[in-house]
Every structure is written in structure tokens, then in C-alpha cells.
Amino acid sequence: MSGPHFDLPNERRTRWPWVVALVVVLIVAGGAAAAWALTRPITLSVDGQAQTLPAGSTVSDIRKANLLKATPGALKSVKGSVIQQTGGKPPTVTRNGEPALAKQRLHNGDRIVSTVGADVTEKSVTATEAIAIVTENRGSGPVATVIETGTPGVAEVTRGEVSHIKVSSKVVKRGTPMVVLLSRPKSGDKLVALTFDDGPYPGQTDKILDVLAAKRVKATFFMLGGRVKANPALARRVADEGHLVANHSLGHKNLPKEKPVEIRRQIKGGASAIKKATGVQPVWFRPPYGAVNGKVWTEMRALKLRVAMWDIDTLDWTKPGVKRIAKNATRRVKPGAVILMHDGGAHREQTVAALPLIIDKLRAQGYTFVTLAELSEAK
């Protein structure tokens, strides 16, 4: 039996499985090593700070994790003002000194540096807009009436999409103005109307009523709905003593600045409070501050109001002293004049004290005191 002769093929048969096993082991080990390398967290520098991230992380993952120190750029208006500090482009990122894309995968030892993102300017949008009707006054006098309603113009306006700042505007169609006729009674009769605004005000309106009663003078009171609600008995006394009860709105807002629905609410609110307290539906209206524009006129017309301003501002609200108020009221008086005073708004002792002087002085000049309604009806 010569063993070696027979052993050779035997050895060959037994060596092959070892090689196969070795290869299999190497493949499995290599695969495991590769898999381990792929799932192993990576360590890198982000803006000078060491960070550990899951394997396979990208530049965009760093952004999402808020690891970048630089902020996005600003969102700017068409005029260059900042609308939103971080509303622009995201920070710019470099990886190892080269610009990095958002989807770029990161590797161990990478050096990531961010810089502030680019600013973005909002878009411009062009649209047609109505041009507000302008009002034009004709004539002179305290009674104001609209004689032409006017038509709005049309403009093509370019604005910032976010800020609404106007960039440019081109008139497409011209409008026509609303024409307000200011007038006074035509007769040369020496009539004068005293008007008191912003009441009723306890301790003041009642004193003014006492003076008017003692002097047998009828006047006009432009009341605020809010004051009437707080002092209904005082409002009723004004009406009961024969004075003209008129509307000065609900809460003394500057009406041209309000939306039409609020303008209407202010006017109707004043009127309904007055009607409730006094039983009188006021026809005459004086806008707070005498402030009007096309919008306010549209509402006043729709409510069929008679609108009264004034000729003579006594400036009693500046508290210039009793003598000064009396002088302001009388020195430029003329037939048909409407005199503005205040029984509310603040302390009016000076107005109360000046009133008898004013009445005596004008009476001495031959004037008769009437309400606004009587003044407007005088031929």
C-alpha cells in the first residue's frame, strides 16, 4: 500500500473546501466591515465645532439639524428695506473649501463652513386700482352739501408682493372730483348760531344750559353717542329745553381714516344713542375735527344727513382764557355765522364763563341767536 500515491487525490479533495471556506469568510467579513463602515457615525467639523452625525448624512441634514452658525439672508422690499431678517436664501456652505450641494454626502474629517445666505428682494406685482375720489369745495359757509358725486379714476399700480410698497403707478382713467358746495343763508339778517360739541358732560353742559335759559338763547348741540349713553338725562334736558340736538358721531374718531363700514357705524351709533335718550332723530351731523373725504361724504349722503361745519372757531379747547374766547367768538362775526364751542371733551370752565359775554356782545351788535335748522331755513 503506497499511501502517498493514493493520498494525493485525497489531500486535493480535502484542501478545496478549506479554500472555499476561506473565501466565504473573507467575503462575509469584508461585507460586514463595509456594512459597518457605512453605518458607522461620522465625525466632522461644522463651523469650527466637532460634530458627530449618522452615516450617510448630507449637507442638507446639517441645515435641518441647525448646526450651521450662519443665518439665511434677508427678505427685502422693493425699496430695499428689510421685511424679514431671515426670509432670504439659506446660508452658503463649503465642504473642504469647495462649494457644497445640499445632497452632497459627508465624510469623516470633512470641514464644513457656512456664510450668511444671499438677500432676496420680494417680487413686484402689477394690478389695477381705483383712485380715490378727491373732494373739491366751492363757495363758502358752514353748511356743506354735495352737488356732484364724482367718479373714481383707475390706475395701474405696481407694488411689492409682500410689503405692498408702491413702486410705480400709471393713470389709466382719470376720475372726476366730488364737489361740495359750502353755503350760508343768503339773507343779510343778523342771525348767528352757537354750536357746542363733544358733550353732554355733567357739570358743564348743564351750566351752559343754565346760561342759555337765563339769556333766552337757543343753540345747537353736536353730541357724541358715547357721552349720550353715559348721560342720557342730560341729553334729554338739552332737547327738552328747545335746543337742536345734532350728531357728532359715536366716539369722535377721525372718520377719513376709517373703513366705510366703521364710518357708517360711527354715524349711526351716534344717531341711535341720541334718538334713544332724547326721542329726537338727529338730522344735522358734524364730522369729528371737521374731517371729511370722499368716503365720509358717501356715507353722509347715503344717510341723508345735513352737514354743518363752522365759520368761527373760538379755540376754547386750547383754554386761552375767558376774554380771549369771547373775543374769538365775536370779532369776525357776520350775518349767518356758525360759532364753534365745546361743552365736552375736557374741562370747559372758560367756555362756561365766556358764554354770557359772547351773548351780550353779539346781542348788543343786533344779532339774533338761532339753531342751525333755523339758520338754514332763513331766506
Which residues contact Ni ion (rule: CB under 5 A)?
Answer: 197-198, 288
Helix ranges, 40-154 (H)? 59-64
Closer residue to Ni ion in complex, CB, 46/296: 296
Q: In terms of C-beta distances under 8 Å and separation of at least 24 residues, what long-range contacts does 49-55 make, across chains too?
A: 53/106
Closer residue to Ni ion in complex, CB, 160/288: 288
* Nearest partner of 220 among 374, 362, 361, 353, judged by Cα: 374
Element containing residue 128 per DSSP (H, E) = strand 124-131
* Nearest partner of 160 among 89, 82, 79, judged by Cα: 79
Closer residue to Ni ion in complex, CB, 198/206: 198
Please state the closest distance from residue 198 (CB atom) to Ni ion, in A. 5
Closer residue to Ni ion in complex, CB, 100/246: 246
Query: What is the grid cell recorded at 152?
Result: 373714481
Closer residue to Ni ion in complex, CB, 212/224: 224
Is 343 a catalytic site residue? no
Q: Which of 110, 197, 198, 316 is catalytic?
A: 197
Query: What is the grid cell recorded at 226?
Result: 358715547
Nearest residue to Ni ion on Cβ basis: 197
Question: CA–CA separation, 60 vs 58, rounded Å?
Answer: 5
Is 164 a catalytic site residue? no
**Which DSSP letter does residue 78 get?**
T
Rounded to 5 degrees, φ, ψ at 340 are: -100, 125
Query: What is the grid cell recorded at 123?
Result: 417680487
Q: Which residues are catalytic, by number?
A: 197, 342
